[in-house]
Amino acid sequence: MARPERKTKHGAMSDTETTRYDFSLSEPHWQAQWEQAGCFKAEDVPAGDKPKYYVLEMFPYPSGKIHMGHVRNYTLGDVVARYKRAQGFDVLHPMGWDAFGLPAENAARENNADPASWTYANIANMRAELKRMGFSLDWDREIATCDPDYYGQQQKIFLDFWKSGLVERRGGYVNWDPVDMTVLANEQVIDGRGWRSGAIVEKKQLSQWFLKITDFAPELLAGLKTLERWPERVKLMQENWIGFSQGAEVTFPLTAPVDGIETVTVYTTRPDTLFGMSFLAIAPEHPIAKAVAASNAEAAAFLAECASQGTSEAAIETAEKKGFFTGLKVKNPLTEQDYPVWIANFVLMEYGTGAIFGCPCGDQRDYEFASKYNLPIPVVVSPSPDTLPELQGKALDGDGYIVNSGFLTGLTVAEAKKQAIAELEAMKVGKAVTNWRLRDWGISRQRYWGCPIPVIHCEACGPQAVPDDQLPVALPKDVSFEKPGNPLDHHPTWRHVACPKCGEAATRETDTFDTFIDSSWYFARFCAPRAATPTNVDAVKHWLPVDQYVGGIEHAILHLLYARFFTRAMERTGHVTVQEPFAGLFTQGMVTHESYKDADGRWLYPDEVVKTGNGATHRDTGLPVTVGRVEKMSKSKRNTVDPGVIVERFGADTARWFVLSDNPPERDVEWTETGVQGSFRFVQRLSRLGALIAGEPMVDAPAVLEGEAKKLLKLTHKSIAAVTEALDTFAFNLAVARIYELAGNLAGTTPEDASLLYARRVAMDIIARLSAPMMPHLAEDIFAKLHPGSGLVAQQPWPKADPALLTVDEVTIAVQVNGKLRGTITVPAGQPAEQNIAVAAEAVSTALAGQTIVKQIHVPDRIVNFVVKPA
RNA sequence: GCGGGUGUGGCGGAAUGGUAGACGCACCGGACUUAAAAUCCGUUGGGGCUUUGCCCUGUGGGGGUUCGAGUCCCCCCACCCGCACCA
């Protein structure tokens, strides 16, 4: 694609090139104009009475360069921000950096760089890239979570949570790399081994800080119902994650005590199937398992094997089901029989009581376990009350009736649950309990590049809060990454302080916060980013909740749930006045691209690949290249396209228009070069059309419009209505399609009379206004040509469709015979059924010949269907 | 493994239970040009016929509800996201 300033070989600009829209001049120009006019500034606490609208996109991790996912995310948010501004809202649209995290430490270890310098350099680069995109952001509000200004306020919030009883210290499991002597993130565990050392990873228990998110489980669940502008699927995922369940705890006596332990308590949602018990299984971390392992080498070996499984739930659940018989037995209080106690690798210590009873008939996992270890499979569930089903390699885990189960026999599953619990309670061996899948949030990380946990450990006084006047607890800059583990641990001086209570020598907590904390309250900080307290209550009262939050679907659970919890906890501690942070949520799909590999199996970047007729070759070597799957853009697969290059070659508007046009925003988008060129051509076409029409004589509105002019004006108003509706529903690809349609129709008219001159100018003006949220620079350019000296389109109100011009006079109706299309008729809109049926019968007379009409269906302005049979 | 999604021409997609394929890309044909680029106009799901037009078929696969199903229901397949220390 030729650059606009390229000269022809004669050294002079050709005609087409002189009329080209030069984005490289236009885009910086309009960005400067917006800046000068302060179009996108917001006040912490505005004085006016304009309605507020807070648009926020998930802030980026400063990895170094913006990627296409960012371009898409921030373009979507910017369309909303600009659209809402045009609709008369006072818009808050800030930007910041989720700046703590592992990659900075990895970069530090690899290049011996300092995480802070690395991060701030990345921020500087990415800020410049974002600015080139022309997003309508209030850059005065920029924050970075690694600024002591920010994380110091975060430390205050944590201490307030602690005072309010929302913080706990207890043991938690981590992935431990025994060679590198360091804690690993789940993503650093590959097939059970440390990503650098290759050592088998161990589960290890450490003392950790926890936030008591489980205290909020009921209200986090109930709160979902109030989130009307959240995608259903996200609410459903959160609901399942919180995982409310009603069941029972049942206590089984061990036939012989072990290490002083006499009973095992299980949690079950199926007390109705207690008569179908086959075994009892405990988690490898269960106290009984440990007691057994203490005197049994085989058991200890099994526990060690389980410990090498990793801590992630996916790893545990996908691993082959394995068990170890402890030799212990328990008595089932209902059947009064004894059952073996197994240690099983699929039982989670964190859920319920860390022990389950196995009923193979009613649970598929139990069925597989029993089959594998030849345990009995008693049949206690049946689809009907008086037949015994054959289990065909599968458990009956649906609804049905209880059979073979003493006093529960013949009852429905639901009724049997109630009766079983009543009996267990009467026997004092069990009780009904409500259980949650949600676990408390472990927030301790054994890493340097995060927010220090503001706690001082004193041998005499225990853990103490860092006093307010000593905040922020800042990260030391002089750290070394040469040793494995957390640099804060081996810093010579940083950790040594006096106990705030007794004044004796004490040590700082060297763990830092989970970075999810940083992103759990930034939306509140944005309301008053320079406030001396974590939030300015007047500002958050005005701006929160966020009216529209936009981000990736991959955050559907963790980030969004943590932010919801944090908001409630902040409300309880007086930092905000709302319970829910995000009133509206939109989750976008990912940006994907073809991936490429050379003959040696190395991934190649798209710009290293030349597409040929029947395949692809390497740009430099000419060797064949394998075109792989279309998948999420990622550095490791090298299937990334640098937005910087795209903006350089085609301009920000083209990039914005393309990411909006090609598919619905909630779906994944595939980046294609040809699609970008198509968008670029449209930018050029629209610019030419704008210049052409701006050059036509200006005329007053004619008294009566007819023919082509009326048609164009009606289409223009139809387009206003359609684009407005599309923007309201995030159907940005449809908004784009409607603008294409209007522009195409406009270009097809000729200014042959005053009516058409008028209608063309109106249509062009509307195109500029409707496309302004999406292609803001070009829209300004066209608007300025149409209305010299009338200010910025960024400050113009949104156009309104004239209802009088939205009426339809004539409709084309489908005519069907037995539901199959046999013709169409064009009739006046709203014509009664009788007349339409008569016209329709005439239109499909050949298809009706020799048939008897059994029924006639008429849907006004839509369809006529004759149901016929042979005469 | 569990939870949540998605599936429509060569490609991205459009379609309140009512004419499947809007709009864009690509392709092909034409105009303009010494030529190319750019631009403009037009065709295009597949198959068939007695070709002003008509018929059959078609929305991942299989069944069902309905006058009528891409859309609603059941079963299956493939792919994607998440799974608590990646952000």
This complex has an ipTM of: 0.92
pLDDT at A793 over 70: yes
Q: How far is the CA of A478 from the C1' of B14 (A)?
A: 59
pLDDT at A104 over 60: yes
Q: Which residue has the higher pLDDT, A400 or A235?
A: A235
Q: Which nucleotide is nearest to A670 (CA to C1')?
A: B12
pLDDT band at A6 (very low <50, low <70, confident <90, very high): very low
In angstroms, the Cα distances linking A777 to A92, A649, A685, A689 are 20, 16, 15, 15
Q: How far is the CA of A621 from the C1' of B28 (A)?
A: 33
Burial A837-870 (b: 16+ CB within 10 A, else e): bebbbebbeebbeeeeeeebebeebebbbbebee
pLDDT at A4 over 60: no
Q: Which residue has the higher pLDDT, A179 or A450?
A: A450
Q: Which nucleotide is nearest to A172 (CA to C1')?
A: B85
pLDDT at res. A1 = 25
Measured CA to CA, the distance from residue A722 to residue A719 in angstroms comes to 5
The kind and range of the H/E element at A586 are strand A585-588
pLDDT at res. A706 = 84
Q: How far is the CA of A859 from the C1' of B59 (A)?
A: 24
Nucleotides, chain B, CB distance < 7 Å: 1-6, 11-16, 18-20, 22-26, 37-41, 54-56, 67-69, 80-87
Q: Which nucleotide is nearest to A667 (CA to C1')?
A: B6
Considering only CA atoms, which of A722, A696, A687, A693 is closest in space to residue A805? A722
Between residue 347 and residue 386 of chain A, the positions with Cβ below 7 Å from nucleic chain B are: 350-351, 364-365
Q: Is the CB of A672 under 7 A from strand B?
A: yes
Q: Is the CB of A692 under 7 A from strand B?
A: no
Residue with tokens 């998110």: A213
Between residue 410 and residue 439 of chain A, the positions with Cβ below 7 Å from nucleic chain B are: 437-439
Q: Which nucleotide is nearest to A743 (CA to C1')?
A: B23
Q: Is the CB of A637 under 7 A from strand B?
A: no
Between residue 315 and residue 354 of chain A, the positions with Cβ below 7 Å from nucleic chain B are: 317-318, 350-351
pLDDT at res. A10 = 28
Q: How far is the CA of A596 from the C1' of B57 (A)?
A: 37
In angstroms, the Cα distances linking A535 to A178, A334, A434, A545, A628 are 42, 57, 36, 14, 49
pLDDT band at A2 (very low <50, low <70, confident <90, very high): very low
pLDDT at A278 over 60: yes
Measured CA to CA, the distance from residue A194 to residue A305 in angstroms comes to 16
Q: Which nucleotide is nearest to A860 (CA to C1')?
A: B18
Q: Which nucleotide is nearest to A858 (CA to C1')?
A: B18
Q: Which nucleotide is nearest to A213 (CA to C1')?
A: B84
Of all protein residues, which has its CA closest to the C1' atom of B36?
A8
Mean pLDDT value across chain A:
88
Measured CA to CA, the distance from residue A104 to residue A115 in angstroms comes to 5
Q: How far is the CA of A642 from the C1' of B34 (A)?
A: 40
Q: Is the CB of A514 under 7 A from strand B?
A: yes
pLDDT at res. A618 = 67
Measured CA to CA, the distance from residue A776 to residue A729 in angstroms comes to 20
Percent of chain A with pLDDT over 70: 91
Q: Which nucleotide is nearest to A183 (CA to C1')?
A: B85
Considering only CA atoms, which of A107, A142, A110, A108 is closest in space to residue A128? A142
Q: Which of A270-279, A392-401, A436-445 has the lowest mean pLDDT?
A: A392-401
pLDDT at A553 over 90: no
Q: Can you give the pTM of this predicted structure?
A: 0.91
Considering only CA atoms, which of A654, A671, A676, A677 is closest in space to residue A605? A671
pLDDT at res. A631 = 55
Please report the sign of the dihedral spanned by the C-alpha atoms of residue A368, residue A369, residue A371, residue A376.
Answer: negative
Query: What is the token pair recorded at A484?
Result: 């494995």
Q: Is the CB of A559 under 7 A from strand B?
A: yes
- Rounded mean pLDDT, A24-29: 94
Bond before A333 cis per omega within 30 degrees:
no
Identity of the highest mean pLDDT range in A8-12, A316-320, A697-701: A697-701
Q: Kind of pairing, strands A810-817 and A669-670?
A: unpaired
Q: How far is the CA of A837 from the C1' of B43 (A)?
A: 34
A483: exposed, middle or buried (Cβ count in 10 Å: 0-12, 13-18, 19+) = exposed
